[in-house]
Amino acid sequence: MNNSKIVGVGHHVPERVVTNDEVSKMMDTSDEWITERTGIKERRWFNPDTDTVANMAAKATKVALERANLVAEDIDCIVFATITPDYFFPGSGVLLQRELGLKNIPAFDIRNACSGFIYALSMGDQYIKTGMYKTILVIGAEIQSSVLDQTTRGRAVSVIFGDGAGAVILQPTEEKNKGVLSTHLHSDGNFAEELYVKDPGSSRPNAERQPEQILDTTDFKVVMNGKNVFKHAVVRFPEVIGEALKANNLETTDIDLLIPHQANLRISMYVQKQLGLKDDQVFNNIVRYGNTTAASIPICMSEAWAEGRIKENDLVCLAAFGSGFTWASALIRW
């Protein structure tokens, strides 16, 4: 049974840079307030005339393919993590397939929010291990700015989220103890409403899903109990990282680079302190992009690789926590 190896990484973010000062003109907030609570200085928001979840994913994919010396036709499976698909249905996986000009290959959509990319990576890893597919595209992509309440009422949430896409290419490797060593996935639906978007949900009376009933779009906006999310995140992050290390008989000191989901810089810094990691052992880019949900980890991976922060034989740990609640980790020997 072969391990799966990441052979290419890429990302794409919209051109529009939205600074904290610009956000402050939309609502009662300030650069100081946002920075203190989140660590974010700016984020990318999409252009409705040019950007879609699928075409941003396609641009990220093309970067990953080029870095892997592959072409789109080499891809035989797509696993797409997003909570903001271009359509209510079908999923964005098939739209990405169309963007890439591919025919007949399977395309899955994973809707596990902030943990979605690691869930998708785990799924791709299993298909490689069984030999069912040979070249798997794993994507995380989001357009979240269009579902944010960009008023003072929604400022606690809307200052956090951004748009973007990240991609990795998986292929089998015969090298022992290389590639994806293990993945670890968890969930607890008791906290589903602590971070969610209620509509457009299907479990509604028919009258509530008619155009005249949905003029009030309140339930289409992100709702988050930030304090409760933080409280659970700082427990689950170290827990699931420790689980991955234990499964592979490794220690925290073995980690060359931790890439946490970019939820909040305060969470990442707390986890870093709890694990006793140095600054050069953790990669954060939330200051530039905000929380891009399923896209955050692959965007980080792409930037870290390009900056030389990920090198051959490095032990890279991915970890995420978010809506669901779901949390996950992956340990990779590059």
Q: Give me the active site residues, please.
A: 114, 261, 291
- Residue 8 CA to residue 201 CA, distance in Å, equals 36
Q: Are 48 and 145 in contact (CB under 8 A)?
A: no
Cβ neighbors of 73 (< 8 A, separation 6 or more) are: 102
- Residue 198 CA to residue 195 CA, distance in Å, equals 10
Q: Are 315 and 255 in contact (CB under 8 A)?
A: yes
Cβ neighbors of 243 (< 8 A, separation 6 or more) are: 184, 329
Q: Are 42 and 18 in contact (CB under 8 A)?
A: yes
Q: Are 298 and 89 in contact (CB under 8 A)?
A: no
Structure tokens at 204: 């509604």
Please give the backbone phi and psi of residue 129, each rounded to the nearest 5 degrees, phi first.
-60, -40
- Residue 88 CA to residue 198 CA, distance in Å, equals 13
Cβ neighbors of 31 (< 8 A, separation 6 or more) are: 19, 20, 21, 24, 41
Any long-range contacts for 103-109 (C-beta under 8 Å, 24+ apart)?
A: 105/75, 105/76, 105/77, 105/78, 106/77, 106/78, 107/77, 107/78, 107/80, 108/77, 108/78, 108/79, 108/80, 109/80, 109/81, 109/82, 109/85
Please give the backbone phi and psi of residue 182, each rounded to the nearest 5 degrees, phi first.
-165, 155
In the chain, the amino acid numbered 30 is: S
- Three-state DSSP class for 296? helix
